[in-house]
A and B are shown apart, each in its own frame.
With several copies, the nearest count.
Chain A
Amino acid sequence: MAEATVTTRLKKLINTPESEVKDALAGMALAHADLIRVEYDPNVIIRKDAPKKGKVGLVSGGGSGHEPMHGGYVGRGMLDAACPGAVFTSPTPDQMARATKAVDGGAGVLHVVKNYTGDIMNFEMAAELARGEGSQVNAVITNDDVAVQDSLYTAGRRGVGVTVLLEKIVGGAAEAGYDLQKATELAKKVNANGRSMGMALTSCIVPAAGKVTFEIADDEMELGIGIHGEPGRERTKLKPADEIAEILTSTVVKDLPFKRGDEVLAFVNGMGGTPLIELYVVYNAVHQYLTKEGIKVSRSLVGSYITSLEMAGTSVTLLKLDAETTKFWDAPVHTPALRWGV
């Protein structure tokens, strides 16, 4: 009985909750056969021409439900492999160990890990396994979410939007021949120079759970959410887009802090269920706010790049740019979700 009710709430284009990730992987493999190959059990998305001899391998991973992250970023100039876990659940060490082995071209492998307890622990176990098999492995942890208080005594900040930018920039550097040490340092620099904050208008339904993670009234929003459909730091009354954009942007700006004269990449991200027209409304307010503060937007990205299933909402990520990061942001990239210069 309870099961039946649950099923009817599943307004999703899936076959079964259990098969969703594999069905989507099969679709990706067919749609992007020129760029990637997919292995199952353990599930890994691998750049078609991996391993590239002498190139540092870039491996990322995380729960599914954040598409196009990470599978959509596998390809030339970005990731060498991605490990998709169950929906909103970090993948398992065997996936990452396999990915690491598959992309190790002899120059070592860098793991890009978002700062979640589960991701960190699973990647740690994977690195132990991969090192046991002779790979040189470094890891960089992204933790850019200013909504979460940072402290030595807590799990610290979540990794969110900066992860996408980091994968692009470090992917460009790896393609250009950076060694493992330099790639690791660049990754740490990107993470150190980026900050994000998100908000949601609605929650989302984890297929296996079959119901919304949280209920929210028609006139409310959640501020300071992550990317797992979870409630945020604070629930407040819904506000106009300009005000929401200002709350997110000003909080991000104050945190680093970004200063007058800084050049930034401004990234307005959709959570999955928000239409593009609204993201441009938000981008307008973000850009204008930054301009007013004397911060120069020299690069931008607007779209749904790191999502929480069908959650409606947005996040704002700012990355302070310098010559090195700008160069590798602009470098050619050819993946299912990001492509330019090629």
Chain B
Amino acid sequence: MAVTTAQLVDWIERYAAVIAEQKQYLTGLDAAIGDGDHGINMDRGFQQVLIKIAPVKDKDAGTLLKTTGMALVGSVGGAGGPLYGTFFIRAGTALDGKAEVADADLVAALEAGLKGVVERGKANLKDKTMVDVLTPALEQARARLKEGASIADALSAATDAAEAGMKATIPLKALKGRASYLGDRSIGHQDPGATSSYYLLRTLREALADPPQGASTSTSYVGREQQPTS
């Protein structure tokens, strides 16, 4: 099976919708151990992304993702802008010219994106960042595909790993980013960037689900997560 640009557009639109919906929640997480802007920044960025990708929805997957990344770099700012921007630009570069993307190529592209994040931010595992979500998630996706699973099933497993990785940031002491200034006081809080990265996997799973899941403006997550943890 292969992934289409339209499915990736669906992913990005779903993600933008979730970010808009969870804006306050993400911002609340960031207020506890950062500067209280992560949701605001990501939402500003993905509103820009929705505008900027409109003319390239018919183009190849590489163009779509690079356009997404450029829009993020030019509008998010903070740590999130270069990190998510680099993630999408690198992933897009890996898919240059491809209108249909083989399952393994998609995962490889996301891995290239993660590599870009690590090069930019130099975070190690357990530094309490988005890397703690993306790394185990993509490892799961790669492993499941190798075992012969469908991309839908592989992303399902990846999303579970992402969720686990996100929750595992709670007891960690932050060593990178703004939260590290808090030292021990960062312990006990879930990392905002890890949380937004978990949404990234979850919306990708939804977009590629077989059969596809409801509309991209799904609000099924609202209940639990809208309450900031602190």
Contact = CB atoms under 8 A, between A and B. Distances in A.
Interface stretch (A224-232, A246-254, A272-280, A328-336): A224-232
Contacts, number: 119
Given A93-B73, A121-B82, A125-B73, A88 B35 contact: yes
B182 A89 contact: no
A121 B79 CA distance: 7
Contacts of B81: 90, 92, 118, 121-122
Given A118-B77, A125-B82, A86 B41 contact: yes
Contact of B34 (A86, A121, A230): A230
Contacts of B91: none
B153 to A, nearest CB: 35
Contacts of B41: 86, 89
| Chain B contact residues, majority secondary structure | helix
Q: How large is the interface on A (under 10, 10 to 19, 20 to 34, 35 or more residues)?
A: 35 or more
Interface residues of B, number: 33
A213 interface: yes
Contacts of A40: none
A122 B82 contact: yes
A97 B179 CA distance: 28
Contacts of A87: 37
A193 to B, nearest CB: 22
Interface stretch (B104-112, B156-164, B170-178, B199-207): B170-178
Nearest to B173: A154
B36 A155 contact: no
Interface in B62-91: 73-83
Interface of A: 2, 42, 63, 85-94, 116-118, 121-122, 124-125, 145, 147-149, 153-155, 158, 206, 208-209, 213-214, 226, 228-231, 233
Please provide the 4 A-B residue pairs with the shortest distance between their CB atoms, ordered closest to farther: A121-B82, A228-B35, A118-B78, A118-B79
